[in-house]
């Protein structure tokens, strides 16, 4: 018998038919003798609708009231799933974030979990009751409902799994695992059996949409083995592959992966914009004077390249920001002109970031050179490069994104078992 936390996203609970399918998945685990908690998102499209209501009511709305409104979507799903489970003969009870409670900081709409009081939850689970928990929400220091930001139900699930000492956290979604790259671009992309926490964190932050970044961070910190699987599979069909293993991708510690591939996957993001500052004063404190105000405005600066100054007086700095922050970043830079001498500011939103990820890169040389040569052979110009122990990120023209992904996927032979 194991203790499991199962999480179901918006597409998995999109309507009553899908909720009934989810209930059968849960019942299968209960019938197998497991202690089960379930975390649910709002039904597909509901959160967007609730956010729209808040914006229509007032553009400058109170974040605390925003949380009260948008958290209601998960409450509906939790209640409906509990009712459905009860109709199947499964003892179940819905729980809201404040009832457990899941405690958060006071940053309404983007709160972070600070603690979970799990004794009552554990007591009910030990007695065979399925806890159906509304994801994405908690209770802040002001005793008001707080929400964790978009995709926060993944974070809720992993945090609860850590709090109750779950053997595994199963993330049910509309895909059957994590792939070597986007199957919509590379038709022969391969589903991975296991991915290390570090690799998944890089993949999630660099464009892969399977898991929310904060959930992977939590899983890595607390050692929560996380299994990505499809909610659209038949709940009554065998849930194992030809080797007798569950169908999906296990996110786990690097030590669990016996054969480490050189490269695990190729991620990409088109949500990138590039800004270049030419002939900037080259003296101590200038970089802080530029990137400090951007950080204070919550602009996430990613790739940064500073050219070596030839004359010792000026230099060029290029960096990337999310596309949504491009215009705001330009305005912030323009506001610095009185304090920092910048001769010219230019930028572009027609760029994309393509990344090569793999823990095997730590012990192998020549991985980057192989990528650069392959892209050059396809006539793809590289604008920026950043690297870490397990990843290489390359900024290119957005028009070449799919060609770059296919090229890199091929040269590292990721389509082969």
Annotated binding site for substrate: 47, 74
For 331, residues 6+ apart whose C-beta sits below 8 A from its C-beta are none
**Assigned token pair, 356:** 């090569």
DSSP 3-state of 405: helix
CB 395 within 8 A of CB 274: yes
> How many CA atoms, within 13 angstroms, populate the side-chain half-sphere of residue 417?
1
User: Could you tell me where the DSSP H helices lie in 94-232?
Assistant: 119-126, 152-163, 197-205, 213-222
Tokens representing residue 215 in the block: 């959930």
Binding residues: 7-10, 47, 74, 173-174, 179, 184, 209-210
Residues of each annotated binding site for ATP: 7-10, 173-174, 179, 184, 209-210
Give the strand order in the sheet containing 102-104.
113-116, 102-104, 137-139, 145-147
Strand 113-116 to strand 102-104: parallel, antiparallel, or no bridges (unpaired)?
A: antiparallel
Measured in whole angstroms, the distance separating CA 190 from the mean position of its chain's CA atoms is 20
Q: Cβ–Cβ contacts within 10 Å for residue 87, how many?
A: 11
Contact partners, residue 334, CB within 8 Å, separation at least 6: 345
Residue whose entry in the numeric block shows the structure tokens 């293993």: 245
d(CA 401, CA 147): 34
Tokens of 243: 């080797």
Strands (DSSP E) contained in 200-341 are 226-230, 249-252, 265-281, 304-306, 314-321
d(CA 338, CA 63): 34
DSSP letter (8 states) at residue 99? G
């Amino acid at each position: 018998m194991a203790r499991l936390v199962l999480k179901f996203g918006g597409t998995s609970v999109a309507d009553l038919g899908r909720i009934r399918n989810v209930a059968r998945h849960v019942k299968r685990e209960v019938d197998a003798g497991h202690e089960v908690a379930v975390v649910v998102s709002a039904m597909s499209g509901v959160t967007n609708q609730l956010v729209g209501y808040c914006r229509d009511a007032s553009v400058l709305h109170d974040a605390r009231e925003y949380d009260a409104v948008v958290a209601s979507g998960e409450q509906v799903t939790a209640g409906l799933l509990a009712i459905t489970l009860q109709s199947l003969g499964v003892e179940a009870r819905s729980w809201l974030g404040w009832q457990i409670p899941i405690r958060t900081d006071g940053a309404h709409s983007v709160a972070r979990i600070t603690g979970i009081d799990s004794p009552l939850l554990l007591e009910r689970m030990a007695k065979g009751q399925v806890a159906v928990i509304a994801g994405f929400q908690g209770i802040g220091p002001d005793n008001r409902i707080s929400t964790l930001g978009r995709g926060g139900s993944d974070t809720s699930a992993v945090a609860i799994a850590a709090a109750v000492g779950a053997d595994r956290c199963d993330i049910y979604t509309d895909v059957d695992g994590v792939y070597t790259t986007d199957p919509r671009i590379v038709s022969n992309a391969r589903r991975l059996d296991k991915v290390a926490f570090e690799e998944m964190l890089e993949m999630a932050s660099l464009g892969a949409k399977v898991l929310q970044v904060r959930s992977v961070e939590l899983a890595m910190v607390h050692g929560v083995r996380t299994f990505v699987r499809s909610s659209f599979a038949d709940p009554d069909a065998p849930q194992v592959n030809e080797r007798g293993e569950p169908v999906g991708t296990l996110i786990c510690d690097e030590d669990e992966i016996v054969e480490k591939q050189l490269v695990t996957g190729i991620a990409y993001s088109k949500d990138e914009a590039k800004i270049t500052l030419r002939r900037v004063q080259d003296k101590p404190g200038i970089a802080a004077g530029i990137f400090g105000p951007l950080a204070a405005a919550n602009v996430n600066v990613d790739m940064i390249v500073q050219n070596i100054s030839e004359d010792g007086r000026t230099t060029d700095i290029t960096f990337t920001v999310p596309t949504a922050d491009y215009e705001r970043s330009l305005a912030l830079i323009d506001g610095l002109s009185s304090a920092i001498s910048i001769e010219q500011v230019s930028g572009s939103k027609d760029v994309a970031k393509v990344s090569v990820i793999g823990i095997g890169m730590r012990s192998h040389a020549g991985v980057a050179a192989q990528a650069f040569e392959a892209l050059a052979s396809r006539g793809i110009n590289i604008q920026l490069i950043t690297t870490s122990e397990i990843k290489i990120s390359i900024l290119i023209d957005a028009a070449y994104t799919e060609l770059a992904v296919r090229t890199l996927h091929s040269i590292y032979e990721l389509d082969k078992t």
